[in-house]
Amino acid sequence: MLETDKVFSGSIPENYDRHMVPLIFEPYAADIARRAASLTPSAVLEIAAGTGVVTRTLTPKLSPAASYVVTDLNQPMLDYAASRQPPDSRLAWRQADAMALPFENAAFDLVLCQFGAMFFPDRISAYREAKRVLKPGGHFLFNVWDSIEENIFADDVTKALARFFPNDPPRFLARTPHGYHDVSQISSDLENAGFSDVEIETRAEQSRAPSPRLPAVAYCQGTLLRNEIEAREAGTLQAATDYAAAALAERHGSGEVAAKIQAHVILATA
C-alpha cells in the first residue's frame, strides 16, 4: 500500500458516501451490524468508520445503556460521518490511528471495523492494538474485500483504466481495497496477534446501480483511485470516468446494472 492510499480528503468523503456506500457498502453494513448486535455489547469501539454507514446502521440496535466510540484516521471522513448521524448521548467521535489506539486496556467488549484492515500498514500490530483494548473474551469483528476478480465492477473499472492509461495503469483498487483477501493469511495474522477462535465466512452480495455510469463515478471519483487518475495527467478525471462508464455499459448494458461483490467476514475472540 502506498502512503497516498490513506488520504481521504477534498470531495472524496461526500462522493464516497453518495456513490460508494449504496453501491457496495450498505449490504455489508447491514450484515456486520446484525452480527455486532447479536453479541449484545455494552462498550463498542469502531475503527476506520469512514463516512459512518455501519455507525448509522448499528446505533439503533444497541442497548440504551451501551457506549459507542466511533473513530477514523481521516478527520474529514469522521466529520462527514458525524454530520450524518442524529445526536445520541451513547456516541463519541474521535480521530484515532488503528496502529496506536488512544484507549485504556480492556476498555471495550467489541471492536468493530468495516473494510478498514486493508489500509493498516502493519496488520498484526493493528490487531494487537484491537486485542489490547478488548476485555478478555471480547470480540473483534471485521470484514475485508475478497480478490478483485470476485468484485466485478471494481475489476471492470481497473481493466478499463489500464487501457486508458496503458503506460502507467492505476492499480489502487487491486493493490489496497482488494489486496488483503487470503483467508489463511488473515487467520495467521490474527493468531500471531494473540486472538483465538478465528471464524471466517465468505459472503457474496449483489452490487446494483441505475446505470453503468454510477459505478464508474463511484470508483473513479469517490475512492482514492481519483488521486491516481489525477496524478497520471491533469484534467483527465472526467475523460477517464467516461471511458470506464463506456466499458461498463459495453459489458453490462446501458440500463440498470448488477454484478457480484464478495467479502470475508471475520470474528476473532480475545
> For the chain, what are the domain ranges?
3-148+175-206+262-269
| Cross-strand bridge partners of residue 46 | 70, 112
Position 12 scores a pLDDT of 63
Going by C-alpha positions, the residue among 55, 31, 53 that lies closest to residue 44 is: 55
Query: Dihedral of CA 47/57/90/11: which sign?
Result: positive
Report how far apart, in Å, the C-alpha atoms of 119 and of each of 72, 123, 187, 240 are: 11, 9, 17, 25
pTM for this prediction: 0.92
Q: What is the largest CA-CA distance in the chain?
A: 56
CB-based burial label for 58 (10 Å; 0-12, 13-18, 19+): buried
Q: Residue 158 carries which side chain, given as an amino acid letter?
A: T
Helix (H) or strand (E) holding 139: strand 134-145
For domain 3-148+175-206+262-269, give the fold. Rossmann fold (3.40.50)
Q: What is the mean pLDDT of each run of 10 residues along the chain (270 residues)?
A: 43 75 94 98 97 96 98 91 93 97 98 96 97 98 98 98 97 96 98 96 97 95 90 93 98 97 98
10 Å Cβ neighbour count for 175?
A: 16
Describe the strand order of the beta sheet including 257-269 as a list of residue ranges. Answer: 91-95, 67-72, 43-46, 108-114, 134-145, 257-269, 196-209
Look-up of cell digits 471492470: 156
Distance between CA 96 and CA 72 in Å, rounded?
A: 6
Write out the three cell numbers for 124.
498484526
- The closest alpha carbon to 17, from 6, 35, 29, belongs to 29
